Structure 1
């Protein structure tokens, strides 16, 4: 009897967790505990460009600063990984919303072309002097070298700031900037799907309802099945 009560409680908690976590997974709720902010010890360095930016843009936590107050949407808007003894950089995509990133004073030999793909809001980037600005000099308004740091400032619109249809984009879409040297084809209003060939709004509510219903049904079946096994024993 005691084992049955414990299993019943565990299953109830499991189902409850699924139902509570489902909206968070589907709607992409974020938290501010990104491992990126703990890449190296300490906080955003006092007096640095990132520190100056963070004083007016948000709150500092570790090597990051977040926009707004605690409880607001947690978007990393500033990232200071300078002087962290980094020899390579693999994934910075927790900081996609960043306006300023500092990777200077690190023994980084090279960066992948796709490292800053999707960084549409990035306006200030500090790199070790041996590295080139992502997307090349033509992707930035200003590129200069100060001391041992390469400064890339003012990310340019790869679509030449026209926002008009690009010959690289299919019909019913237009060119949108997608990071230094990158662009993406965004479907025009009322079009979606492969190559923007489908017209009409994407059935988001219907899809979410189906996913929610499937989750509830599977959880209920699991609970009933496990409970019957306990009773039979």
Structure 2
């Protein structure tokens, strides 16, 4: 018969293993879809792997190099049968280095990256540019808004606190009560109108 202390340790070890497995499954489920769009993992000698291994607190998962918050900083899609990255590509808008098949262009083109290098079998996009700093139009965003990068070749204008609406020209908070009130009353009016029309048709027939 095993000592009681050893039995308790065994139970604790089992609980610890179960907890680690649960955390591993949770992390796997939370992995962005773009990272698993192609089978396999990042090649050991690719620039994404080298960048990830030489930068502290970064980790390789499937085709991505992620930080501890799950933000994609590197993406290696070489050797993938892709014509374009697909609808999940927006998940990689924070990418610093990206390797794509030769037939897939770097998103945003030369205006979105510091360096684009083409090889026989892939393209490497490095150093995502901040279009908010590079745009030649200082009036890209309205006076009450600020420019925020939104991925390679994209930006968005975010309204300052206290402003909303078209070109951030409306001051004050957005009234959800008024919005849903107008939406509800409009829907109710249309429903009553359609109901009355159908009822009139039924009587005449």
TM range (shorter): 0.5 to 0.7
Tell me the TM-score normalized by structure 1: 0.50
Cα distance in 1 between the residues matched to 2:33 and 2:143: 41
- The equivalent residue for 1:187 is 159
Contact 1:191 1:201 in 2 (8 A): yes
Structure with bigger RCO (C-alpha 8 Å, 6+ apart): 1
Shift, 1:161, TM fit: 4.6
Cα distance in 2 between the residues matched to 1:87 and 1:132: 9
- The equivalent residue for 2:39 is 41
| CA shift digits 1:146-180 (9 cap, x unpaired) | 34333322222223358x98434334123333223
Q: 1:59 to 1:153 in 2, by over 3 A?
A: closer
Cα RMSD between the aligned structures? 3.4
Q: Return the match for 2:132 from 154, 159, 163.
A: 159
- Structure index of larger Rg: 2
Quick check: 1:92 aligned with 2:88? Answer: yes
Shift, 1:48, TM fit: 1.3
Cα distance in 1 between the residues matched to 2:126 and 2:32: 26
Contact 2:164 2:170 in 1 (8 A): yes
Contact 1:165 1:173 in 2 (8 A): no
- The equivalent residue for 1:74 is 70
Shift, 1:200, TM fit: 4.3
Instruction: Flag structure 1 segments of 5+ consecutive residues without an equivalent.
Output: 1-29, 97-118, 207-233
- Corresponding residue pairs, total: 148
Shift, 1:60, TM fit: 2.6
Q: Which runs of 4+ in 1 moved over 6 A?
A: none
Cα distance in 2 between the residues matched to 1:38 and 1:134: 19
Q: Return the match for 2:115 from 134, 142, 159.
A: 142
Pick the structure with more helix per residue.
Answer: 2
Cα distance in 1 between the residues matched to 2:104 and 2:31: 29
